[in-house]
Amino acid sequence: MNILLTADETRAAEAFACRNGISGATMMENAGVSVAGIIRKRFSPRETLVLCGPGNNGGDGFVIARELRRAGWRVRVARDAKRHLPADADAMAQLWQGKNFPLESLEKLPRKPQLVVDALFGTGLTREISDVYARAIKTVASWQVPVVAVDMPSGIDSNSGAVHGVALQADITATFFCGRPGQYLFPGRRFCGEVIVCDIGIPDDALDAMDESCRVFLNRPGVWRKHLPQPRETSHKYRRGHVVVRGGGLAHAGASRLAARAALRCGAGMVTLACSPSALLAHASQETAVIVTSVDANGLESLVSERKVRAMVLGPGNGVGEETREFVLRALRLPTALVLDADALSSFVGCIEKLSDAIAKHNGGVVLTPHSGEFERLFGEIGSDKLSMTRSAAKRIGAVVVHKGADTVVADACGHVVIADNVPYSLSTAGSGDVLAGMFGGLLATGMPAFHAAGCGVWMHGQTAQSFGKGLTAEDLPPRIAGVWHQLER
């Protein structure tokens, strides 16, 4: 399941299950049994310490401890005996017949464990971890032993991935029913290790009772696959879609060429690179399948009309300033999908209202592709975390925003979000963003809706880089896109 649930949505799902005859105690028992099963499958029997917190996460921990002990493992529990547990968690604590140690005495344990189960704090943590819990986390970290986290590594915000004071690094995070955004957003993702989703008895119908308009998805093909272009025997280059990539001056010609080649590889039937006169010969000498022409803002409308252009990519290598800004505003008066990248975004720093007003009047999909620096310059401080910031930006600008990075977030103006988890570090190389912009243009030209084209492009970009491995440069990406299409068609 690709859906990621916030803390409030998780509580709503659990409440739905309770209303439909699945008690909290039953879900707690199922959770503990599932996590114990994962531990037994991944590790040989060993000295294990289970950290049990003051809430229902601690109740899961007592079930895990009981199940492992029943399987013959040596298990101890560390808990804060001064804190009263909720009813279900307390019932599980009463069923535990093994040894308990106070959390504040972890440094004095006679034997260092070989495995730690972190059931201190799960979904819903919003405050800074301090006092005995912070000391316990630091002690466990100093042991350098494997850690299995229950629901979330303690200290990580399940909504945003933020660290609340301190956090425990997990090798495996076993979560329940659905994943959480904070498991895929940095810095939280760094602490989660492998994420495994466990079934604890919550019916899938619980999702139907939630607001779908603001749903968060993990960016997987299942989110957008049904919108992929379907090739037909009767297809021809105009039916597949024509993309115009605007090229800049001679000094930055490579950026627009990368975008143009990627657009062609991503499904467009034709790609025209519309550059300045000074760069015409440079582009023409390098391109074969891409059409090269010279056009300014005044000639844009006739170019789009005569060549049946469906999508445009503006920004890569275009230069920052009035000329690029005017070109974007002219393009927004035409009925084509638009990708605004790099210089096309930076040209509106300090005058974003001009861009949002033009987008509001535009008849077509618009995708903005800022990296974190461009995002901050364009939108300022509009949220406390990447998820809320990207949502706010998409709503403010009235378009799809692709907030790039290792945890790329894609949001539309209605609140739909996907979070990518397949973006390798090798993509942090010059020109990879130009390729991504071109990929969006190619997908938009085929008729994919903007949000789904953006999600698809981000996933394909990541998979393409992964297929190459180390030593990747931006030029390596376009030729390998075909291999990712084969993955999707299998």
Residues with Cβ within 8 Å of residue 316, at least 6 apart in sequence: 245, 248, 252, 255, 256, 258, 259, 341, 342, 343, 433, 434, 437, 438
Q: Give me the pLDDT at residue 143, please.
A: 96
What percent of the chain has a predicted confidence (pLDDT) above 70? 98
Q: What is the pLDDT of residues 346-399, one digit of tens each?
A: 999 999 999 999 999 999 999 999 999 999 999 998 988 999 999 999 999 999
**pLDDT over threshold 90, residue 83:** no
pLDDT at residue 234, rounded to an integer = 62
Confidence of residue 22 (pLDDT cuts 50, 70, 90): very high
- Is residue 175's pLDDT more than 90? yes
pLDDT at 278 over 80: no
Examine the pLDDT at 293 and tell me if it is beyond 70.
yes
Average pLDDT over residues 235-260: 85
pLDDT digits (tens, 9 = 90+) for 32-68: 999 999 999 999 999 999 999 999 999 999 999 999 9
Q: How confident is the model at residue 236 (pLDDT cuts 50, 70, 90)?
A: low
* Residue 249 pLDDT level (bands cut at 50, 70, 90): confident
pLDDT score of 235: 65
Mean pLDDT of all residues in the chain? 94
- Quickly count: other Cβ atoms within 10 Å of residue 205's Cβ: 11
Q: How far apart are CA 47 and CA 56, in angstroms?
A: 24
